[in-house]
Structure formats: structure tokens, C-alpha cells
Amino acid sequence: MKLIIAIIHDEDVQDLVQKLMDDNYRVTKLASTGGFLKSGNTTLLVGVEKEKVDAVIGIIKDTCETRKEIAPAPTPMMGGTGVFMTYPIEVQVGGATVFVLDVDQFVKL
């Protein structure tokens, strides 16, 4: 048994959860926050048999594509007038960070 932990962008959550459920995978969804842009992320927990790990990762990869967005700079720059000004920057969002862990025991009560 394996536990897949997938951290994904909030915009991809609905599609990914629906695709996983359509393929009969059980999913637990946890709200989380990213570190760099403080943007909304979701952490999904999926328990599967060892043989199904690649299939789940394939669904995640197909659903959570990276894309570019314009975001305000995380660190404001001080102008000559003492006013803080930020300049937008292009950042890559989406995609997924996936961890696969061994599960010693699984009990459903």
C-alpha cells in the first residue's frame, strides 16, 4: 500500500478530484497555502495499491499543467518619495508536487 500526497494549485482541484473519483480512487482534500506567493493550494491524500501509483501520477500530470500568471512582486521596492511600489512579475503556477510514501498498515473502520 502507498500513500500519495499531491500538493496542487487551487484552480486544478475540482478537475483532478473528479477524474480521480471517476476512476474509483478515494481522495481526501486538505486546504493548504503555498510559501512563495502565499497562494491557495490544496493537498490531496490518495491511498492506493503499489501497482496503481503510476496511474494516479499520470492523472495528476495530465490534469495539473503549469501555466504563467502575472503576480505582484513579493518584496516591495522603496521609491524616492517613501512610497512602496511593487512591480508585477511573471510566475509559473500550477503543476503538482507529489510524494509517494510506504504505508505499513491500513485500517478502515
Q: How far is residue 62's CA from residue 24's CA, in Å, rounded to a whole number?
A: 17
First CA to last CA distance, the chain? 17
What value does the mean pLDDT of the chain take? 82
Q: Within 1-109, where are the H helices? A: 13-22, 53-63
**Chain center to CA of 54:** 17
User: pTM to 2 decimals?
Assistant: 0.74
Identify which of 61, 59, 56 has the alpha carbon closest to the alpha carbon of residue 4: 56
- Is the per-residue pLDDT at 79 higher than 60? no
Query: Residue 12, Cβ neighbours under 10 Å: how many?
Result: 21
What the chain holds in terms of domains, given with CATH numbers, is 2-66+95-102 (3.30.70.120)
Considering only residues 81 and 96, tell me which one the structure prediction assigns the higher pLDDT. 96
- Is the per-residue pLDDT at 17 higher than 70? yes
- Is the per-residue pLDDT at 74 higher than 90? no
- Is the per-residue pLDDT at 34 higher than 70? no
